[in-house]
Each structure stands twice: as structure tokens, then as C-alpha cells.
Chains A and B, each alone.
Chain A
Amino acid sequence: MKKVIVVGNGMVGYKFCEKLAAHADFEGFEVIVFGEEPRPAYDRVHLSEYFADKSAEELLLAPANWYTDHQIELRTSELVTQIDLEDKKITTHKDTVFEYDYLILATGSAPFVPPIKGSEKAGVFVYRTIEDLDAMKSYAAKLKAKGKKSAAVLGGGLLGLEAANAAKELGMDAHVVEFAQRLMPRQLDQGASDMLQSKIEELGIGIHLSKATEEIMGDGAIERMDFADDTHLDADMLIISAGIRPRDELARASGLQVGARGGIYVNEKMQTSDSSVYAIGEVALYNEGIYGLVAPGYEMADVAVEQITGGEKAMAASIDMSTQLKLIGTEVASFGDPFVENHDVVAITYENKQRGIYKRINVAKDGSRLFGGILVGDSSDYNTLFQIYYNAMKLPENPEDLILGSRGGESILGSVLDLPDTAQICSCESVSKGEICEAIQDGTAANLKDIVKCTKATTGCGGCKPMVVDLVNETLKSLGKEVKDTICEHFEYSRQELYDLVKVKQITTFEEALARLGKGCGCEVCKPVMASIFSSIYMETANKQPVIQDSNDRFLANIQRNGTYSVVPRVAGGEISPQKLIVLGEVAKKYDLYTKITGGQRIDLFGAQLHELPLIWKELIDAGFESGHAYGKSLRTVKSCVGSTWCRYGMHESVTFAIEIENRYRGLRSPHKLKGGVSGCIRECAEARGKDFGLIAVDGGWNLYVCGNGGATPKHAILLAEQLDDETCVKYLDRFLMFYIRTAAPLMRTAPWLDKLEGGIEYLKKVVVEDSLGIAEELELEMQGLVNKYECEWKQAIEDPEMMGRFKHFVNSDETDETIEFVSLRDQKMPKPW
């Protein structure tokens, strides 16, 4: 048994463990990992997402039990303080001693804090760990409570821009301060930097170039940055992101050879000056360089694993620093040598200020090869260009086609299958084209999911995904297999195709659809999709084919934790009379239901047993309520603010219009749930821009916004048209909703649908506003047909004794389910916890 000690549990340290654990000879190793941070390795590349939507848990590269499952001992919050090279031992800060056969140093780097006077002041942060982010977060919260909002970032490199994005996500006004005269000076030329700057500034982030910071001013805490050119910037907090310094202090103290400017010296085997000790990642000094990107770090981890398991693999002499990423919403890529220009090499550039795109390629004067380039604003050609550069492939006759697109419509590269087998497709996981194609050809993988599982391609930065998808599809095609975005094993069609087929062939039942278009018995995926399609075409309620409905729709209620249901009547626009409120209260009291106000301005009654649903609904319907469709993938609510009838700022009657719209689209089934909002003025109290469609009253009418949502990935709705009168507004809404219903994939809300829609919002505007497809009238008629056929499905259900059979808990007994238990909660009840 060989003992391996890994010092450092960052991305590269983890990758080493992952590669070793996957190695055939892993059983011969005993592995202990030390990490000074309190949690297991996490994804630092996507750190700024911690503020947007990701939890620390989600950023983990592998959960803590991954290490135990693989018999790897992970010791977090434990710092290695000493290495004894002679006796092959290490000591930790707890004075515990461990022996090793191989020592892997993956200590990474620390943020470089330039020697600026005042950098010790409160409110000055570095950007590296989750703890740094937590500290920034709580400081920003305190600032905002005092009405202070200005956050500066020192450093306009890749990480600095990420940090600026993080500051913006925190709700601060972000400013980037860079010493050089351009952003990302190591990757971008002036033209690219200018383009990136204008795009970032559009988002409200300030950019300050050629600024040398002299002193950080403030009384105890930062208040201002003073620059060498006698200008200054007011800042309430500062995030320093001015580069990295390798964490080589442990190696240095133990006597390992280190570079003059830091970093542990390694050879092509990743061996340090002591042959039992390896260094990988940002701490390794290889070929005179330190590599702050994840791909070379992973490659080093792979080499180290190969070396200690007796393999031959060595690091390539030159390390590729190409990179592609999305920075503050802008695509940026840089590959090969982005700057080279000499008597053999010329640059071809393309700049489009209207669309915010800059592209540059450096090609040999004789047109024989590509040396590198830069892409800003649109990096969709990155994979192709990178492959051409990396594999020294032949260029097309007119090299400018590489960035302008060939005017014949054909891909410049021809087919992705033309790439050499050695072409590296996923540089994070170093997966070659050959590996992907072989896995499909020999049957190891049948689709993209399998490829991701067996090769790990796309699991790093994800930038290679489009190319991997193409490769998988093209290889499948070359084997004579059809590639389709099918909904499940029972129907070899996409949702849109099924929608069209059902309509054209006038199919009316699920059984008929299975017989004519599918096979087998169906499943929990295709049944609700078909139910939704039938409903969107024929406006049939969930009562017509109850067994193909998602189980909530089948019982016209939302199932809750303990198998009981909640009841939500429609309260259009959130307007409800005192009399109706009393009815809700009385019904809730009678059936002992837990009541809560929902986010959609209505009232949810929880804890109804299956057999009670019809009894409750009978009383509600008698009092004038109707189904709220809270259980369906259908229109939920149209939220409103009180509007001009009461509000002294209101411009139009938002409640009236919200009720009109909610009643128009009530019961409308769609690929996913739909929510709307109407605000009476730009103060936007109805949060209409957080909805699938939102109307905001302005001078001269309504502004119509579409494709927003709250939830896990909040999106603001985007302006579709301005200053519309009521009638036009409804017209555009009809067209928009019907177009979405026809074309979206199952369970795809409007925001991701718009993301996928080729041409995006501009295209949508053309279809909806300009009627570029000539289908506007058809869409409106279709919607009007659905609106005319609306029926309350709960009323239908309680009036039909046969339908009522559905709500009995037992077929063979009138007893009710006695296993349901409730406990009390603040004068109400709740399910007994799981």
C-alpha cells in the first residue's frame, strides 16, 4: 500500500483525487487530503454565482461523502505546517504527523494585495474563497442599510470582472479600477477591450482604466481611492483582485526548489526537486510560468496521477492558455497567441458596434494557418477556431470567412467529424474527439448523457458543450441513427411535432395518439405532455382524460406533504369582496384547513383529504368561486397593484385590466405554468417584470414585457412593445402566448424558451408585433377559440356523479385514510413532519 498525501483541497487537488480514484490501480493507494478551508473542494470558476443563485453546497465539486465512499480521508480545516523531506513526513498545525510515499502539493495561490497605503482598512476584501464572499456579503448588507452602495474592484482582469459581477449581484454599484489601459490585458487587445467596456458599462458598471491607486482613504473604513493622476473614486468597499501569488511557503521552508518570483519548480512529470514530491495547479512553476487557469491545472493532476501509478504521461512543453467564458453576460474568448502580428502574421478584425461584437484572428500571410485570436460579444465560433488553431488545420480560401461566416451557408469547418481524432474537444477534462466518437461507435454511449457520464466532457467550464453535442449527433447520424429531441421512449417526436400532428390528424385521445404516433403504454413524462397538448388545442378540461393528467391535475388540487391536498380558488387580479373572504374563512373553519395567502394574491386552503375536495368545492362554487388552476401547468394569476382607482400615483386601472386578462386566459393549459402582472405605474408594485408577461402603465398606454420569472433563476421580463392601448395589448398577448404554447418544449417556461429561440427577443418582436411569419391572425383566432370554450373544471366535476368516484380514497369501502396525522402550528394545523 502506497501512502499518498495531498496538501490542498481546491479544484486541482480534488481533480487529482478524482483521477486517482478512477485509476485501475487505485486499490494500491491510501490517500489523505488536507484542506485548510472548512469545506470540501468547490468550483471557484463559478464563484460569483454564489451571490446569484448557487448555494455553497451546489458549488461543491463532490459532496463530503464522495471522499468516504472512495476511502479517501479528507481532513478539512487542517493546515500542513511542515514537510520533512528526508523522513517523508508532514506535520499539521495540530502537531499530528503523517508519513507519505508520495506528497502532492496542490496548495494553489493567494490573492496578491499590492502594497497600497490603507489596504488594511475595514471594507477592503480579497476574492478567492466562500468565506471571502460571506464577509463581503455581510459588509455590503451593512452598507446598504446605511444607504451606501458603491463597491470598487481593483483589477480589470478576468477575476476582477467576475468580482465586479459579484458586487453587482450584491446590489452594489460596481466600479472596476485597472492599472493598464485596457481590460483583461493578458487576453484582449484594445479593440476587444473597448467593446467589452462598452457592454459592461451598459449594465451600469463603471470602468476606470489607466488608474494607479496611490492610497485607500477613510476613517477606519474605506471611503475613497486616490489615484496617481490626482483623481479619485468614492468607494464604500473595495475588492482586490490584482493577480495571484503561488502558495509556496510550505515548500520553500522545507527546502524544495522554488522560483525567484514564487512557485514550486517542477519538471514535465510534475516532480519537484524532491522526486517523491509533486506540485500541481497554480502553485507549480512549469517552464518558467504559473498557470492560473483550471484546464492546465487539471492536466497537471492527470500527469501526476499517471506518474505515481507508473505511467509515462508528461506535460506538454507549451501550455495552451486559451479561454472562453461569459463575463457579466458578455461572451469573451481568447485563444492561441491573441496579439501576434509581425511580417509573417497579419490580423483580420471585425467590429460591429451595433451588435457589440469584436472578432480578431491572427493568420499567416500566406493563409496557411491560424495562430490565435479574440472574440467579444459572440464566441459561438470559438470551438471551431480553437480546433483549427490547435490542430494547425488548413484555412479556408478566404480566411475572413472564419469570423464573418461563409456566405454559402455551409459551416466553415465542414463537419465536426472532419476534425482529427486527436483534437482536444474538452480541455478541462482533456477529452479528445476520438474518445467521444469511439464511445458512441462501440456502443458504450448512446447519447449525450452517456457521453458526459463516461468521458466527463462538458463538466468543467461547459464551453465545449455545443461541439460535444454536434459530435454526438453527427456520429450517431453517421451510424445511421436518427437524432431527435424526443419526449420519451413512447413518442419519437418533440413536443412541437406532437402538437402539430395532433392538430393536423385531429387526434382526440391519448390511446389514439399512442396507436397512431407512439408505442407502449405511455409514462409519467409523455402523458402530461399529451394532456397539455389536447387541452391547448381543444381546450378540454382535465376531466375528459383524467388518467393521463399529472396527478395534481387528475384530482384538480395540489398534493402536499402528507398526501392531503390544497384548495385554491381563483381570485382574479387579487380583488376579493369581504363577503367572499368570509366564505373562504367559513369553509376553512368547517373543514379545519390551514390557510395562507399565496404569492399570487390569493388564498390557499391546506389539509383537505381526497374525499373532502368535492364537498369543499361544492360550497365554494355555490358562493361564486371557480377553480384557480393552481395545480396545473396553466395560467396561475395576474397579480396587480391597486392602480389609478385608489393610488395617488397610478396612471391606469391596473386591477381592472389584470382581472380582464386573468379571466381571458383562465384555464389555459401551456407547456409550463404562466404568471402575469399588471402595474399601474413605473413603481412596479405588482412585480410584473418578474412574470411570464407583465404590463406597466406609462404615459400613453401599457408597456408590455415578456418572458420573466422568479424562482431559482430569476429573470426580468424584456420589453416587447411600448405604449399600447388595451386592445392591442391583448392582441399581442394572444399572439405571444399562443406562439409559446405551440413551440416550447415540455416544462419549459417562457424565459428559457426565449433563450433558446433563435434570434431572441428581436425575432419574437418580429413575429408578434410585425407579424413576420404571417401567422398573427391565426394565433389570435386560435386563442379566441380557446377563450370561448372555457369551463370551470371543478364545476364540471361536482355536477357529474361518475367523475366524483375519483375522489373516494377506497374503492371497496367508505372509510377514509386513517393514517393521516396532523400536529398543531400557531393556532392552525400542519402535517406531521417526515
Chain B
Amino acid sequence: MEELLNHYKTVTPENTTNWVKVGTTQDFPENGGACIKHNNRQIAVYNFTLTSSWYACQNLCPHKLEMVLSRGMIGDSQGIPKVACPLHKKTFSLQDGSNLNGEDYKIAVYPVKIEDNMVYIGFSD
């Protein structure tokens, strides 16, 4: 399973080469998340309606390598948007993927853009 982790590397808007349309904004619950599939990747997409922001990260929990992060609760910590893994409540920054409980786990994050009510995720390959 460890090789699964290698599928996921953080992408920034700057090094995005490929914006993939993954659905309409209504497909994603307000102030919640859902999962999309692109090729062999599972990406969790979060709709922060309260701040009109969108975030995306790997759906894979880096701790036990299960495809669950999209089902986690979202929120913020000192203004940093975050997701809490549903398995063990480890929390991750959706800005840079770092673990907010001071552990070594890290997740890959992806850029999201909204155009004409359509949701796009940025990939670099």
C-alpha cells in the first residue's frame, strides 16, 4: 500500500499543467467535502461556503493509508482551513498539507478553481 502515497504530490496553481473538470459546485455539500476520481487518484474536495473558498487534497489518510479524508469534518484552526481524518481525528492544513497536531504525517494538496459553476482541480501531469 505504501506506493499509493507516491501517487500524491502537492500541486500549486503555478505548476498546474492540467485543470480537470470534476463536477458542478452543487455536487459538493456546503461546508463539507466529497471525493472525486481522476485516473488512478482519489482527491477530496472541500467547499468552504462560509469563506467562499475551495480546497482539495489526497483522499488517502497518510497514517493508515485508507481512502477516507473526504469524509472528515472540516473547519479552521487559527484561521487555517483544515480537515480532521474520520479514523483517528488527526488534523491537516488544507493550505499546505501539514499536520496540525505536531506529527510527521503530511498530505498532498491540490489547487481548485471555480468557473461558471464548474469545479476544476489542478494537476501537474
| A817, B73: Cβ atoms closer than 8 Å | no
CA of A551 to CA of B72 in the docked complex: distance in angstroms?
6
A810 interfacial by beta-carbon distance below 8 Å: yes
Q: 1/0 per residue B72-94: CB within 8 Å of A?
A: 11111111011010110101000
Within 8 A of B (CB), among A391-412: none
CA of A112 to CA of B29 in the docked complex: distance in angstroms?
69
CA of A473 to CA of B78 in the docked complex: distance in angstroms?
23
Give the contact stretch, choosing among A515-523, A597-605, A658-666.
Answer: A515-523
> Which residues of the partner chain A approach B73 to less than 8 Å between Cβ atoms?
523-524, 527-528, 547-548, 550-551
| B27, A811: Cβ atoms closer than 8 Å | yes
> Which residues of the partner chain A approach B76 to less than 8 Å between Cβ atoms?
520-523
Q: Given contacts A489-B77, A817-B42, are A563 and B66 in contact (CB under 8 A)? A: yes
CA of A129 to CA of B39 in the docked complex: distance in angstroms?
59
Q: Given contacts A521-B51, A811-B23, are A546 and B32 in contact (CB under 8 A)? A: yes
In the assembled complex, how far is the CB of residue A363 from the closest CB belonging to chain B, in whole angstroms? Answer: 50
Q: 1/0 per residue A816-834: CB within 8 Å of B?
A: 0101100000000000001
A335 interfacial by beta-carbon distance below 8 Å: no
> Which residues of the partner chain B approach A811 to less than 8 Å between Cβ atoms?
22-23, 27-28, 34-36, 45
CA of A656 to CA of B89 in the docked complex: distance in angstroms?
40
> Which residues of the partner chain A approach B34 to less than 8 Å between Cβ atoms?
808, 811
> Which residues of the partner chain A approach B89 to less than 8 Å between Cβ atoms?
524
CA of A551 to CA of B64 in the docked complex: distance in angstroms?
17
Q: Please indicate which of the listed interface residues A522, A551, A808 has the most CB atoms of chain B within 10 Å of its own CB.
A: A551
Q: Given contacts A546-B29, A811-B23, are A521 and B81 in contact (CB under 8 A)? A: yes
CA of A526 to CA of B74 in the docked complex: distance in angstroms?
11
| B67, A559: Cβ atoms closer than 8 Å | no
Taking CB as reference atom, which chain B residue is nearest A559?
B86
> Which residues of the partner chain B approach A526 to less than 8 Å between Cβ atoms?
75
Taking CB as reference atom, which chain A residue is nearest B50?
A521
| B75, A521: Cβ atoms closer than 8 Å | yes
| B37, A554: Cβ atoms closer than 8 Å | no
In the assembled complex, how far is the CB of residue B8 from the closest CB belonging to chain A, in whole angstroms? Answer: 13
In the assembled complex, how far is the CB of residue B28 from the closest CB belonging to chain A, in whole angstroms? Answer: 7
A765 interfacial by beta-carbon distance below 8 Å: no
Taking CB as reference atom, which chain B residue is nearest A831?
B66
Q: Given contacts A547-B32, A817-B42, are A559 and B75 in contact (CB under 8 A)? A: no
> Which residues of the partner chain B approach A413 to less than 8 Å between Cβ atoms?
none
In the assembled complex, how far is the CB of residue A473 from the closest CB belonging to chain B, in whole angstroms? Answer: 23
| B37, A815: Cβ atoms closer than 8 Å | yes
CA of A282 to CA of B71 in the docked complex: distance in angstroms?
55
Q: Quick one: which of B30, B37, B78, B86 contacts A551, CB cutoff 8 A? A: B86
| A817, B67: Cβ atoms closer than 8 Å | yes
CA of A551 to CA of B69 in the docked complex: distance in angstroms?
10
> Which residues of the partner chain A approach B64 to less than 8 Å between Cβ atoms?
561, 834
Q: 1/0 per residue A505-523: CB within 8 Å of B?
A: 0000001001000001111
A555 interfacial by beta-carbon distance below 8 Å: yes
CA of A177 to CA of B51 in the docked complex: distance in angstroms?
70
| A559, B71: Cβ atoms closer than 8 Å | yes
| A819, B79: Cβ atoms closer than 8 Å | no
Q: Quick one: which of B29, B82, B86 contacts A547, CB cutoff 8 A? A: B29
In the assembled complex, how far is the CB of residue B62 from the closest CB belonging to chain A, in whole angstroms? Answer: 13
In the assembled complex, how far is the CB of residue A532 from the closest CB belonging to chain B, in whole angstroms? Answer: 14
> Which residues of the partner chain A approach B28 to less than 8 Å between Cβ atoms?
811
In the assembled complex, how far is the CB of residue B113 from the closest CB belonging to chain A, in whole angstroms? Answer: 16
| A521, B48: Cβ atoms closer than 8 Å | yes
> Which residues of the partner chain B approach A547 to less than 8 Å between Cβ atoms?
29-32, 73-74
| B4, A819: Cβ atoms closer than 8 Å | yes
> Which residues of the partner chain B approach A810 to less than 8 Å between Cβ atoms?
35-37, 42
In the assembled complex, how far is the CB of residue B100 from the closest CB belonging to chain A, in whole angstroms? Answer: 10
Within 8 A of B (CB), among A746-769: none
> Which residues of the partner chain A approach B66 to less than 8 Å between Cβ atoms?
561-563, 819
A579 interfacial by beta-carbon distance below 8 Å: no
CA of A811 to CA of B29 in the docked complex: distance in angstroms?
11
Q: How many B residues, CB 8 Å from partner?
A: 40
CA of A559 to CA of B88 in the docked complex: distance in angstroms?
11
> Which residues of the partner chain B approach A812 to less than 8 Å between Cβ atoms?
22-23, 27, 36-37
In the assembled complex, how far is the CB of residue A462 from the closest CB belonging to chain B, in whole angstroms? Answer: 25
In the assembled complex, how far is the CB of residue A514 from the closest CB belonging to chain B, in whole angstroms? Answer: 7
| A514, B50: Cβ atoms closer than 8 Å | yes
In the assembled complex, how far is the CB of residue B27 from the closest CB belonging to chain A, in whole angstroms? Answer: 5
| A521, B32: Cβ atoms closer than 8 Å | no
CA of A707 to CA of B66 in the docked complex: distance in angstroms?
37
> Which residues of the partner chain B approach A489 to less than 8 Å between Cβ atoms?
77-78
In the assembled complex, how far is the CB of residue B117 from the closest CB belonging to chain A, in whole angstroms? Answer: 14
Q: Quick one: which of B1, B22, B35, B91 contacts A524, CB cutoff 8 A? A: B91
Within 8 A of B (CB), among A525-553: 526-528, 546-548, 550-552
CA of A550 to CA of B84 in the docked complex: distance in angstroms?
10
> Which residues of the partner chain A approach B72 to less than 8 Å between Cβ atoms?
524, 551
Q: Quick one: which of B1, B37, B50 contacts A511, CB cutoff 8 A? A: B50
A813 interfacial by beta-carbon distance below 8 Å: yes
CA of A561 to CA of B36 in the docked complex: distance in angstroms?
21
In the assembled complex, how far is the CB of residue B34 from the closest CB belonging to chain A, in whole angstroms? Answer: 5
> Which residues of the partner chain A approach B71 to less than 8 Å between Cβ atoms?
551, 554-555, 559, 610
A144 interfacial by beta-carbon distance below 8 Å: no
Within 8 A of A (CB), among B39-79: 42, 45, 48, 50-51, 64-68, 71-79
> Which residues of the partner chain A approach B23 to less than 8 Å between Cβ atoms?
811-812
In the assembled complex, how far is the CB of residue A806 from the closest CB belonging to chain B, in whole angstroms? Answer: 8
In the assembled complex, how far is the CB of residue B24 from the closest CB belonging to chain A, in whole angstroms? Answer: 9
Taking CB as reference atom, which chain B residue is nearest A515?
B50
In the assembled complex, how far is the CB of residue B87 from the closest CB belonging to chain A, in whole angstroms? Answer: 7
CA of A791 to CA of B83 in the docked complex: distance in angstroms?
30
| B75, A527: Cβ atoms closer than 8 Å | yes
A809 interfacial by beta-carbon distance below 8 Å: yes
Within 8 A of B (CB), among A582-620: 610
> Which residues of the partner chain A approach B36 to less than 8 Å between Cβ atoms?
810-813
In the assembled complex, how far is the CB of residue B41 from the closest CB belonging to chain A, in whole angstroms? Answer: 11
In the assembled complex, how far is the CB of residue B94 from the closest CB belonging to chain A, in whole angstroms? Answer: 11
Q: Please indicate which of the listed interface residues A521, A528, A559, A806 has the most CB atoms of chain B within 10 Å of its own CB.
A: A521
Taking CB as reference atom, which chain B residue is nearest A810?
B37
In the assembled complex, how far is the CB of residue A510 from the closest CB belonging to chain B, in whole angstroms? Answer: 8
Q: 1/0 per residue B3-14: CB within 8 Å of A?
A: 010000000000
Q: 1/0 per residue A783-824: CB within 8 Å of B?
A: 000000000000000000000001011111101010110000
Taking CB as reference atom, which chain A residue is nearest B72?
A551
> Which residues of the partner chain A approach B42 to less than 8 Å between Cβ atoms?
810, 817, 819
CA of A610 to CA of B86 in the docked complex: distance in angstroms?
14
> Which residues of the partner chain A approach B45 to less than 8 Å between Cβ atoms?
811
| A523, B75: Cβ atoms closer than 8 Å | yes
| A520, B75: Cβ atoms closer than 8 Å | yes
8 more CB-based (< 8 A) A-B contacts, given A521-B51, A559-B68: A521-B74, A547-B73, A551-B86, A561-B66, A563-B87, A813-B37, A819-B42, A834-B64
- 8 tightest CB-CB pairs across the interface, nearest first? A523-B75, A547-B32, A551-B86, A524-B84, A563-B66, A524-B73, A521-B76, A563-B68
Give 5 CB contacts A-B under 8 Å.
A514-B50, A520-B76, A521-B76, A524-B89, A546-B29
